[in-house]
């Protein structure tokens, strides 16, 4: 919570501490108790009456009890901040009786106040013994309750802001997520040149006091705040949610969607402005997932999709996007090509190679990959197998090294095998290739963004809509037999070689410029 910094509040807080240390019989500072026939709703503008009480020490008079007491000598605070606000609420002088942890304030006994609901205990806690989970804020006159006030307006962002990118980090086993981090940084740096940009993955990597992927500890910390998650979250002026580019959906299970949504929803509850950077939205197979997605999107300051199908899906949910952009990988600068020239770079997906995957028939995918390799070798082509999701070992269900290890046993030294160390190596290698073929979408997007033709092997709907809007119509559907996959891939390889990508890049950059401008408007 953003606290007061005035000298009068600091002095009062020190005085209260000294009194408590000197005399155990001294009463605590006055507290607030909600009075009324029923518990009020814990929302902005709720009209409630409060009575000033003093809670006397249990040691002095047995069980703790509240006694009415006036406090005419309370200090007066002219302006009062609300949690998450970047500017103070305009109000009359407010006697501030507890400048410590809970930041209670009131104007007089039986005053009309607006109640802001924090995350701690929920609305029902308003009607309990003491109002310890809420921050009473002076509201407008009773006749105008419910009308917008300056304190309820969205805070404006300056160019010098602190930003958290959620769902992407630079050094990540999934090179596609690293590309999202680099692209997001490029876009945000253009929109906010002096911004302090931090990164947090949906797992254990990145900035922050704890792992955000473990749901139970995360939910517990949201309540008890022992590790400082609340203060860390409130330290950001803007949270940019990108979730790996394709995780705003329940196709990877509803459990995963709920887990990834917990922290951004927490940020919204703390009134940190949230933006959805360009990403795939949907589909949702579960009704609860749709409800949660709709709730989250309505709380966002800005929602951007990266393809028209996602925009249509967002409209179906009831929260149309503000902009249909494209993938942020097109904002990354073009690298220097590798000194070694490559002919065909083939990215094989460990996710689809795994027999238990939910997306395609793994047997058909393996047969299709082997069919492509066999025919290209027969044509005298040179093939480089490239891992784009790099695990620590040659094991795991979503690790491209597994597929490379299996193909090495079949083809030996007839192929080149590359396990990259990071994004820069991948982009440099692709810049030296004639054509890239890949089942990892960002393997193909990395290639297209640097002007190298690519043949995407699509296992979900996230591929075609994004690429079609850029004018690149060479996507191969993997929901087919192995022979059909091999034939289609080879036809597209021959079709795209030598094709001019200038119109594609021009369209992509125009959409990136539009995304930058939309973000800039947040600070105007």
Model confidence pLDDT, tens digit, residues 434-444? 999 999 999 99
Strands 112-117, 134-138: pairing kind: antiparallel
- CA distances to 6, 12, 25 from 22, rounded to whole Å, are 25, 15, 9
Give bridge partners of residue 137 from the DSSP assignment.
Answer: 114
Q: Which residue has the higher pLDDT, 278 or 204?
A: 278
Per-residue pLDDT of 35-54, as tens digits, reads 333 333 333 333 333 333 33
pLDDT tens digits, one per residue of 477-515: 999 999 999 999 999 999 999 899 999 999 999 999 999
Looking at the structure, do residues 500 and 362 belong to the same domain, yes or no?
A: yes
pLDDT at 447 over 80: yes
Report yes or no on 136 lying in a domain: yes
SS3 443: helix
Domain that holds residue 347: 342-507
CB count, 10 Å around CB of 521? Answer: 11
Tally the C-alpha atoms within 13 A of residue 135's C-alpha that lie toward its C-beta: 21
Q: Are both 184 and 146 inside the same structural domain? A: no
- Does residue 313 share a domain with residue 168? yes
What's the CATH number where 503 sits? 3.40.50.2000
Sequence-ordered list of residues with C-beta below 8 angstroms from that of 492, at least 6 positions apart, any chain: 455, 474, 476
Domain boundary among 119, 152, 185: 152
- Report whether 319 contacts 298 (CB < 8 A): yes
Domain-embedded: residue 458:
yes
Residue with more model confidence, 235 or 17: 235
Query: What is residue 202's predicted lDDT score, i.e. its pLDDT?
Result: 82
Residue 329 within any structural domain of the chain: no
What whole-number percentage of the chain has pLDDT above 90? 61
The answer to whether residues 397 and 432 belong to one domain is yes
Question: For the domain that residue 285 is a member of, what is the CATH number?
Answer: 3.40.50
Query: pLDDT tens across 116-159, in order?
Result: 332 333 333 333 323 333 333 333 333 322 333 333 344 456 55
Measured between alpha carbons, how far is 326 from 511 in angstroms, rounded to an integer? 6
The rounded percent of the chain whose pLDDT value lies above 70 is 69
Q: Are residues 182 and 56 in the same domain?
A: no
Q: Give the model's pLDDT for residue 438.
A: 96
**Torsion angle of the four alpha carbons 229, 235, 238, 239, in this order, in degrees rounded to the nearest 10:** -20
Structure confidence at residue 347 (pLDDT): 97
Instruction: Tell me the pLDDT of the chain averaged across its residues.
Output: 77
pLDDT score, position 12 = 54
64 and 114 fall within a common domain: yes
pLDDT at 3 over 90: no
| 2 within some domain | no
- The reply to whether 520 falls in a domain is no
Q: Looking at residue 130, what is its pLDDT?
A: 34
Of 127 and 313, the one with more pLDDT:
313
Residue 251: predicted pLDDT? 85
Highest mean pLDDT among 81-90, 299-308, 397-406: 299-308
Are 264 and 246 part of one and the same domain? yes
Would you place residue 166 in the very low, low, confident or very high pLDDT band (cuts 50, 70, 90)?
A: very high
Judgement on whether residues 402 and 307 belong to the same structural domain of the protein: no
320 and 468 part of one domain = no
CA distances in angstroms from 320 to 27, 187, 254, 267, 519, listed in the order given: 55, 22, 22, 21, 17
271 shares a domain with 123: no
Q: What is the pTM of this model?
A: 0.71
Q: Is residue 121 in a domain?
A: yes
Nearest of 278, 280, 284, 276 to residue 253 by alpha carbon:
284
More confident residue, 22 or 177: 177
Specify whether the CB–CB gap between 519 and 191 falls below 8 A: yes
In a domain, 430, yes or no: yes
Same domain, 204 and 279: yes
Tell me, yes or no, whether 117 and 166 share the same domain.
no
What average pLDDT score do residues 311-339 get? 95
Q: How far apart are CA 343 and CA 357, in angstroms?
A: 30
Q: Residue 332: inside a domain, yes or no?
A: no
Lowest mean pLDDT among 275-284, 344-353, 378-387, 389-398: 389-398
Q: How many domains does the chain have?
A: 3
């Amino acid at each position: 919570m953003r606290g007061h910094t005035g000298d009068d509040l600091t002095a009062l807080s020190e005085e209260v501490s000294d009194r408590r240390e000197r005399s155990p019989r001294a009463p605590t500072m006055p507290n607030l108790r909600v009075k009324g026939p029923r518990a009020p709703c814990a929302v902005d503008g709720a009209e409630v009456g409060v009575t000033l009480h003093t809670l006397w020490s249990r040691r002095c008079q047995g069980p703790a009890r509240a006694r009415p007491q006036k406090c005419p000598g309370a200090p007066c605070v002219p302006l009062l901040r609300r949690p998450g606000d970047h500017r103070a609420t305009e109000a009359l002088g407010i006697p501030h009786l507890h400048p410590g942890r809970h930041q209670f304030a009131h104007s007089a006994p039986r005053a009309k106040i607006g109640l802001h609901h924090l995350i701690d205990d929920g609305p029902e806690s308003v009607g309990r013994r003491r109002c310890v989970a809420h921050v009473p804020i002076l509201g407008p006159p009773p006749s105008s309750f419910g009308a917008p006030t300056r304190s309820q307006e969205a805070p404006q962002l300056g160019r010098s802001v602190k930003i958290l990118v959620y769902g992407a980090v630079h050094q990540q086993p999934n090179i596609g997520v690293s590309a999202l981090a680099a692209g997001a940084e490029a876009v945000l740096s253009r929109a906010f040149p002096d911004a302090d940009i931090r990164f947090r993955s949906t797992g254990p990597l990145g900035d922050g006091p704890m792992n955000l992927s473990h749901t139970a500890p995360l939910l517990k910390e949201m309540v008890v705040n022992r590790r400082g998650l609340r203060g860390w979250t409130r330290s950001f002026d803007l949270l940019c949610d990108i979730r790996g580019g394709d995780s705003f959906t329940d196709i990877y299970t509803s459990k995963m969607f709920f887990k990834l949504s917990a922290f951004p929803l927490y940020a919204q509850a703390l009134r940190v402005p949230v933006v959805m950077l360009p990403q795939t939205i949907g589909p949702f197979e579960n009704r609860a997932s749709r409800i949660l997605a709709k709730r989250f999107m309505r709380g966002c300051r800005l929602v951007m999709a990266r393809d028209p199908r996602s925009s249509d899906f967002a409209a179906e949910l009831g929260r149309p996007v503000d902009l249909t952009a494209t993938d942020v990988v097109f904002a990354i600068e073009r690298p220097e090509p590798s000194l070694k020239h490559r002919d065909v770079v083939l990215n094989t997906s460990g996710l689809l190679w795994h027999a238990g995957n939910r997306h395609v028939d793994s047997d058909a995918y393996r047969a299709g990959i082997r069919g492509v390799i066999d025919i290209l070798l027969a044509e005298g082509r040179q093939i480089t197998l490239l891992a784009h999701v790099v695990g620590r070992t040659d094991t795991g269900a979503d690790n491209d090294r597994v597929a490379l290890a299996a193909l090495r046993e079949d083809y030996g030294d007839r192929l080149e095998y590359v396990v990259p160390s990071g994004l820069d190596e991948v982009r440099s290698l692709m810049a030296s290739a004639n054509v890239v073929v890949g089942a990892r979408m960002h393997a193909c997007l990395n290639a297209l963004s640097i002007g190298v033709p690519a043949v995407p092997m699509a296992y979900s709907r996230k591929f075609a809509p994004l690429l079609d809007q850029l004018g690149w119509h060479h996507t191969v559907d993997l929901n087919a037999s192995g022979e059909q996959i091999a034939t289609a891939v080879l036809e597209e390889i021959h079709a795209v070689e030598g094709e001019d990508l200038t119109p594609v890049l021009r369209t992509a950059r125009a959409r990136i410029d539009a995304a930058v401008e939309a973000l800039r408007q947040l600070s105007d």
